[in-house]
Amino acid sequence: MNAHVRRTFYLFVAGFVALIGMLAYWQVYARESLANNPENGLQTRRAIESPRGLILARDGETVLARSVERPSESGNNPTYERVYPQGPLYAGVVGYWSTRYGATGIEIAENSNLSGNADPATLDELINQISGGPRPGNNVTLTIDPQLQRLAYELLAASNTGRGSVVAVDPKTGEILALVSHPSYDPNNIDDRFRELQQDPSQPLLNRATQGLYPPGSVFKVVTAAAALKSGVSPTAVFFDDGTYEQPGYTVTNYGGASYGRVTFAQALALSINTVFAQIAVEEVGRQLLYATARDFGFGSSYEEFPLEISASRLGEGNLAQIAFGQDTVLSNVFQMALVAATVANDGTMMEPHLVKEVRSPDGIIIERASPQREREVLDPQTAATLKEMMVGVVESGSATAAQIAGVEVAGKTGTAEVPPNAPHSWFIAFAPADDPRIAVAVLVENGGDGEKQALPIARQLIASYLDLPSRTAPQQNPAAPNLPEGLPQQLPGELQNLPQRLFGENGRP
């Protein structure tokens, strides 16, 4: 009998412990995910019966999302509907809130604040919670600059393919100033058009800036250059390019089949010479250091603390010579490459990227306010300064002279990423002013062709607009290229045709 009682007692205790464990799990560990799940019936009812908080641009005035009261047909309490005044312009950032299809973007990332599910931060909120009254959500202000965001959207829409993305960031703070994906969608009618949008071949639901993965092409040479500088390669180190670099089973060539003869490492970056970068990666840097440097820049990271879903960039296990110039198995996105540019701009220190500027209660009390956070040191300041100067050289006398803006020194790098049989992707990364950077930008135009022809003009206009400067038009092409030094082709390919006088001077000497 005693044994039977003991067994019953032990079963009772085990069941009680299991019950406590389940309660602890749902109340502590799974509380936030459960509250943020749009399929939660209680959450759905609360979203309809209580107004969600505003989502605002960084000026605190431009409304990106708000709740509108709708009278109840049955005469009961009113319901609320989510409205997006800016339509497709911010869809990639704000996302949508749907009782049918869930939620994305800031709507789900900041749902605890927007829905009023967060712990009460003011006396009124505490009283409402105790009394069971309606709890309006907190207002979330983003770091997005509304003028820059609109300009980026319009420029992408006007590009030759109309497909691509832009990310702009403040290098010193990590604030995201613009994040645009095009084509986009209108979140106001997501319930009516969701299935149609899912099947649209242009993939408007895909956030190209954060979730798209593309070969970065020559903009990745900034990462390779950083690794080379760390390995001891000097900007003045001399290499000879005959137009090819042989690897077992593969021959690296330059864009357009060009050869450049005797060039320095700095000139190889300025002229975007694939063969020299392949040689440097294989013979000077090595796979281990290149991969470690890429990881330091953020490759392999999904940035879990960032409110939007980020697809991790990766190098893969391909041919090192091709990886050196962003081809073969390398895949990245515009968000990642913007952080690469921002890190070089900020003396080698990566700041934690963030999208939320502050959170306020409905009566205006500040609940949260973001402050700049240092992510990690990727490069020491001296190495970063050298790389910065090399990127300035790309704009001053290299493949990106069209990015020059009167009155400000710009640092940048073009990229033309080959994706046969389709047209190449057009890339450009940049920051300015080079000596005191305020903005770093990455631009991708899918299948846009040469980097200088589509992505670069967009970046130049964004930088000029943000710095409140007139945007300089691209220099006139001069394909004649008289008096070029021996080893350089008389007809430079694509993005390099306007270089000779700037790079070598009128007398043909560097």
Q: Among 317, 328, 332, which residue's Cα sits nearest to residue 250? A: 328
Q: pLDDT at position 40, please? A: 54
Reply yes or no on whether the pLDDT at 206 is more than 60.
yes
Model confidence over 50-82: pLDDT tens digits?
Answer: 899 999 999 999 999 999 988 766 656 778 899
- Torsion angles phi and psi, residue 194, rounded to 5: -60, -50
Where residue 480 falls among pLDDT bands split at 50, 70, 90?
very low
Model confidence over 380-438: pLDDT tens digits?
Answer: 999 999 999 999 999 999 999 999 999 999 999 999 999 999 999 999 999 999 999 99
- Edge to edge, the sheet with strand 63-70 lists 79-83, 63-70, 55-56, 139-142, 356-360, 366-369
For the beta carbon of residue 447, count every other beta carbon within 10 angstroms.
16
Distances (CA, A) of 122 to 137, 359, 398: 12, 13, 57
Model confidence over 314-331: pLDDT tens digits?
Answer: 999 999 999 999 999 999
Q: 239, 487 in Cβ contact below 8 A?
A: no
For 12-21, 39-48, 154-163, 483-492, which range has the lowest pLDDT when averaged over its residues?
Answer: 483-492
441, containing H or E segment: strand 439-445
Token reading at 313: 């960039």
For the beta carbon of residue 48, count every other beta carbon within 10 angstroms.
17
Q: pLDDT at position 133, please? A: 55
Query: What is the C-alpha to C-alpha distance for residues 292 and 298, in angstroms, rounded to an integer?
Result: 10
Query: What is the C-alpha to C-alpha distance for residues 102 and 115, in angstroms, rounded to an integer?
Result: 14
Q: pLDDT at position 70, please? A: 80
CATH 3.40.710.10 fits 148-356+371-469, yes or no: yes
Q: pLDDT at position 276, please? A: 98
Q: pLDDT at position 37, please? A: 53
Query: What is the C-alpha to C-alpha distance for residues 481 and 105, in angstroms, rounded to an integer?
Result: 50
Q: Which residues are catalytic?
A: 218
Reply yes or no on whether the pLDDT at 201 is more than 50.
yes
Q: Among 480, 481, 479, which residue's Cα sits nearest to residue 494? A: 479
Average pLDDT over residues 336-350: 98
Percent of the chain with pLDDT over 70: 79
Model confidence over 2-46: pLDDT tens digits?
Answer: 666 666 766 776 767 666 766 655 555 544 454 445 555 545 555
Query: What is the C-alpha to C-alpha distance for residues 333 and 425, in angstroms, rounded to an integer?
Result: 12
Reply yes or no on whether the pLDDT at 296 is more than 60.
yes
Model confidence over 221-274: pLDDT tens digits?
Answer: 999 999 999 999 999 999 999 999 999 889 999 988 999 999 999 999 999 999
Side chain identity, residue 19: L
The domain ranges of the chain are 148-356+371-469
| Claim: this prediction has a pTM higher than 0.85 | no
Residue 347, by phi and psi: left (phi above 0), alpha (psi -120 to 50) or beta? Answer: left
Owner of token pair 């009516």: 192
Q: 369, 121 in Cβ contact below 8 A?
A: no
Query: What is the C-alpha to C-alpha distance for residues 137 and 47, in angstroms, rounded to an integer?
Result: 10
Model confidence over 439-465: pLDDT tens digits?
Answer: 999 999 999 998 789 999 999 999 999
